[in-house]
Structure 1
């Protein structure tokens, strides 16, 4: 496509796949915080089960691409470096912030597509604090807590199992994917869960397809375009920066992804008749959302990804950081939700 630059094509890939994720959020009700909240306090684990299916499909699809030579593990950031301190500290910080803000970055973008101005505050604050942690005033703290470390060869769960047992990565991935999907489907009420399961599978396919598309573009662009996938922290900051300095910067996959989620969510909300303008009318709520969004921005950078970046994208390649970060986010969200519901930390816990 000579009429479109490589960077523009990457942004279009982000836009298209981001729209699918946005539709999944609104029509399929795919949401990380809501999954934790429903399972913990609402007595409904359907949205938590969605994560098991999405992960299973994403892991299997991604490793099928690797096995076919269509995805090179050496080009994937999540298999090159990670910090256990960053994964735990960043995950906990992100999880608590997600509970305080009422959504993660992905969920907030989707709510913007439904007309929610409150989520716009969350998104802007999260993007600014993420960039402040990457290259701004908080970058020194980030470097002190999470020093840069990279492995010379791809290092993930499947690669570790292969080194210890000789089992091919695809076999390890298939076993893990089957376990996650099997646990998600076990005991489900399929009359209610079927549409959730379909959308969860669509999310998993989208993550795997994104890896394949960006790997192809990485090759076609003579490696000028990095192999990446969806995450919603630094790309939000990139999008804000581009809106102010577009004449001096190029579009990226992440920018397309951010706009795609908003567009997909708008289409989903419009189809369902759920679109309506909303604004924050409580100063205390606004303050809580600002604090939560700031915590998410810092936490996502420390953990090298958000609930989607680590929870889906990194998990799909079986990065070592993914399960540690996802569990930390879950724990942080439980802490934050408990505080919001009971108001006194753990003193009123059952």
Structure 2
């Protein structure tokens, strides 16, 4: 048991450091899904979108390589499923995408902004976490399970793009994404390269930590194979909706021995610390609050939509859009498409509202 305890600490520290690296990279390079979509919609600028696509490509290739070298078992990930939860991921993704626009960023961006001194993001963090917890185990969980979760397609071969039977599909898709972004000369700058390869590489590293370093073939007490420190008991990478709920739960019930640290909580803390360290180092740390009651109301609504939507969609822009998509999960593909669509609709509505206001 001493060895298990030591291994658990190593895995938790690794996820904290992974989160710290993600937070520092995101703060310094402005890596942000909502920002990337906004740049494309409002300015036609694909720079940050290409950073995102690069990260996906790196994570895909990395996950496939880890699996092919026998370092991880892809069938044991949190995203491995024989059910295509198309309605849950569609509805949840639309909610999350719409909400992250009016809440000024996704789960990861919320943590990054918190680290930079943004008090609005602290409110988003708390409300999103409570809403996510309610959708995991509370009143909205009952609604979720009895409605959208009841609609799915059974896929005996697995809800995964590998069912197409294309050899080396992950490598092909990953390389296509990398070639697609690297052929643009404006992508060859420090910010974009660090953002794309750094974020994608961090996701890959967390797959190795969770699936290889933290894998115990036979637990001394249960004799079962376990992935230590994960909340699901399966292999996990980075995600920032349910882990935010778990963080609040751990903080509120800290004295309860059954509430233990998990990889998700460690990563959440790491992102905030990494962002804060980066902001202080480059002298961009500053306190920021709500401009007016309308600003507060929008952020509250966006927080609830992200919390409920993120759990319903089985993940966020990082959880489904990077970690999940790197496994070629069909659920992740549907969720990410819905998140982008929800964000575009929200951005268009904001632009139309601003135009009407300007005309008054």
Q: Structure 2, unaligned stretches of length 5 or more?
A: 220-224, 229-233
Could you tell me which residue of structure 1 aligns to residue 240 of structure 2?
A: 232
Partner of 1:69: 70
Question: Which residue among 106, 109, 134 is the counterpart of 2:108?
Answer: 106
- Please state if 1:242 is matched with 2:250: yes
Secondary structure of the residue aligned to 1:78 is coil
Cα gap change, 1:275 to 1:344, in 2 (>3 Å): closer
- 1:147 aligns to 2:144 (yes or no): no
Q: Which residue of 2 aligns with 1:196?
A: 192
How do 1:26-41 residues align onto structure 2 when only pairs under 5 Å count? 26-41=27-42
Separation of aligned partners in 1, 2:295 and 2:91: 25
- How far apart are residue 3 of structure 1 and its match? 8.9
The 5 Å alignment of 1:271-350 reads 271-343=281-353
Shift of 1:189: 1.5
* Superposed counterparts of 1:5-84, under 5 Å: 5-80=6-81, 81-84=83-86
Which ranges of structure 1 fall in alignment gaps of 5 or more residues? none
> Which of 247, 267, 272 is residue 277 of structure 2 equivalent to?
267
| 8 A Cα contact 1:106 1:232, kept in partner | yes
Q: How many Å separate the matches in 2 of 1:186 and 1:131?
A: 43
Residue 278 of structure 1 and its aligned partner are, at CA, apart by: 1.3
Which aligned segments of 4 or more residues in structure 1 are displaced greater than 2 angstroms? 1-11, 147-155, 185-188, 218-222
Q: Which residue of 1 aligns with 2:226?
A: 223
Distance 2:157 2:8 in 1: 27
- TM-score under structure 2 length normalisation: 0.89
CA distance in 1, matches of 2:202, 2:289: 32
Contact 1:339–1:345 (CA under 8 A) maintained in structure 2: no
Instruction: Note closer, same or farther for the CA distance 1:134–1:288 as it changes in structure 2 (3 Å cut).
Output: same
Measure how far apart 1:126 and its partner are: 0.6
1:187 correspondence with 2:184: yes
- Using the TM superposition, give the Cα deviation of residue 51 of structure 1 relative to its aligned residue in structure 2, in angstroms: 1.0
| Residue correspondence of structure 1 range 201-220 to structure 2 within 5 A | 201-216=197-212, 217-219=214-216
- Tell me by how many angstroms 1:61 deviates: 0.6
Residue 189 of structure 1 aligns to a residue in which SS? helix
2:19 and 2:137 mapped to 1: Cα distance?
Answer: 26
8 Å CA contact retained: 1:338, 1:345: no
Taking the aligned partners of 1:22 and 1:131, their CA distance within structure 2 comes to 23
Cα distance change of structure 1 residues 345 and 256 upon mapping to structure 2, 3 Å threshold: farther
> TM-score with structure 1 length normalisation?
0.91
CA contact (8 A) 1:55 1:315 kept: yes
1:175 aligns with 2:177: no
**Residue 66 of structure 2: SS of its match in structure 1?**
helix
User: How big is the shift at 1:11?
Assistant: 2.3
Deviations 1:15-72 (A, max 9, x none): 1111111011111211000001111113321100001110111100110000011110
Structure 1 residue aligned with 2:164, among 161, 164, 170?
161
